[in-house]
Chain A
């Protein structure tokens, strides 16, 4: 058995699995498709229920991955082929070209200052902007610039090259080619995380039409100190501070209408968290959460919600949301809903609406499943070999799953599953893996 493991996905689950294995002497290849590891946790402002600054508790782990002698960090890379090979896997990994020499780049940021091409920033869900040559966020690991060929003026129009002229380390290399490497591993751990369902197709909510209707992750970026407004909570339409914010839960989730019938499990509590953050920023603001069931199910969560109600005055309303309309002049929003306790249809004006959308497995999971012969469930999550007794195993011996890509869960559960997958991979290296669940 090879003494190496491949981890696909550089979010907190992938990072935890990699560190557990690396710390016991196993060689780990950590592959991440984005230019930096960190995943969703890097985008969050604070984490519930402890209200830790998310990047503060994540960054040390990211750096540990980067510096660990047993971890080969392969960011901006993808797995293209997996072949089974007598119990091991031979994997082809494609390192996409950054057009920046990673040995020479010091992360100084000079190139980004002068680049003339501005692009909506994916990290800020389009609320902020970046340049065509960029580092996705301030604490990116590795802290190396990347050129996006779709927006770079040199690649699209054959002009500019300012970054190359100015780079003090001569690190820009427009001739860089993709590089393929082949590795041999005994296990593969999938930790590909999740995306946010785009509720634009639910016309009744007006997302992407109404300027002041945001997705929860967009709100996180607005209130985050490292976000596009430096942490100032302002309305996208006019830059003013909102006076009343309404959260709408279960957007696209638990729906019988053909969207996603499952519960994303974390939204009730993160909406509570965001409400508390909003109240800390603007103590006089009114915050309402329209919810179906208040799923504060984890350790300390119910107490967290109780605090939000008692100490911060967040108002929770049991409601079936109807629709949202926009006032064309003020850009305020009218929210219609069925008030569950009274059964009445009510309406309500707010200057900002936050939609908590379903969290969905990544589209790429389908491709990965194909490449590795894995089973997906009907929503696109990777399927556990046995949901009860083998949650991190899959139908393919040696391939393990953890984190949200296995099913809705929060950060501590993702970390537990990640360590769990690491244990299974470690067992496999010892070559006496019994079939889990038997």
Chain B
């Protein structure tokens, strides 16, 4: 069979981490050969949909490497990315894929040794976690569908505008000197991530065929009571509608939200 060799995709920023990787090369520091590096100008370029797509294709691990805070060539791109990755991990946790498969680290242009260390540690960690459920001959269909839903969540307005404004809300106060605390924000973010995820799951599931609460509960692996509560909320916000009734069972279908 042979030992499992993880497939790691690394997104490295041109000014810091890519240069650090170059320095590791110049210094001939060795590390496992599993990583495949994609150069971007700034770690902030990594749209949340990108790691999701990459996981959907079967990557075992994804590393996003940027400059240390304060050193970003584009001022604060790395700090924006930090928020996105945090949101992504919340989202990934809902899909059944291990969120540890996604890691954000800071590596500077003069840290060749550190680059090699991070890559070595991460590769080992992923080796221990095991192959991605989406890789190999029989990818896990359920997790795949969950990731599709997650990708749709991450492409849509609601979550993006919230994450886009996170720093503004938590770091700057408004005219009334009010600021949202990080805990409050994270809690709100968690709720919205979950709600959006369920909605998109339900949407994907009911795209062609309306489904009952029971069927939905099985599909999203939640208790029927919790699903019903979600549906009630979604109805209130015009995200889902009653399609028709079969016998005594109502069947619901998600609505396009604009």
B residues near A50, Cβ cutoff 8 Å: 26
Q: Which residue of B lies closest to A307 (CB)?
A: B27
Q: How large is the interface on A (under 10, 10 to 19, 20 to 34, 35 or more residues)?
A: under 10
Does residue A52 face the partner (Cβ distance < 8 Å to B)?
yes
Q: Which residue of A lies closest to B25 (CB)?
A: A51
Q: How large is the interface on B (under 10, 10 to 19, 20 to 34, 35 or more residues)?
A: under 10
Q: Which residue of B lies closest to A52 (CB)?
A: B26
- Residues 269-299 of chain A, each 1 if its beta carbon lies under 8 Å from chain B, else 0: 0000000000010000000000000000000
B residues near A280, Cβ cutoff 8 Å: 28
Give bound CA distance, A50 to B26, whole Å: 6
B residues near A52, Cβ cutoff 8 Å: 26
> Smallest CB–CB gap between A45 and chain B, Å?
14
8 A Cβ contacts from B1-59 to A: 26-28
> Smallest CB–CB gap between B160 and chain A, Å?
42
> Smallest CB–CB gap between B21 and chain A, Å?
15
8 A Cβ contacts from B188-240 to A: none
- Residues 74-107 of chain A, each 1 if its beta carbon lies under 8 Å from chain B, else 0: 0000000000000000000000000000000000
Give bound CA distance, A50 to B28, whole Å: 10
Q: Which residue of A lies closest to B26 (CB)?
A: A50
A residues near B26, Cβ cutoff 8 Å: 50-52
> Smallest CB–CB gap between A184 and chain B, Å?
44
> Smallest CB–CB gap between A433 and chain B, Å?
38
Q: Which residue of B lies closest to A280 (CB)?
A: B28
8 A Cβ contacts from A41-94 to B: 50-52
> Smallest CB–CB gap between A122 and chain B, Å?
31
8 A Cβ contacts from A346-398 to B: none
> Smallest CB–CB gap between A310 and chain B, Å?
13
> Smallest CB–CB gap between A414 and chain B, Å?
21
B residues near A51, Cβ cutoff 8 Å: 26-28
A residues near B27, Cβ cutoff 8 Å: 51
> Smallest CB–CB gap between A18 and chain B, Å?
27
Q: Which residue of A lies closest to B23 (CB)?
A: A50
> Smallest CB–CB gap between A305 and chain B, Å?
14
Give bound CA distance, A50 to B25, whole Å: 10
Residues of A within 8 A of B (CB): 50-52, 280
Could you give 5 example pairs across A and B, Cβ below 8 Å? A51-B26, A51-B27, A51-B28, A52-B26, A280-B28
Across the A-B interface, give the 3 residue pairs with the lowest CB-CB distance, nearest first: A50-B26, A51-B26, A52-B26
Residues of B within 8 A of A (CB): 26-28
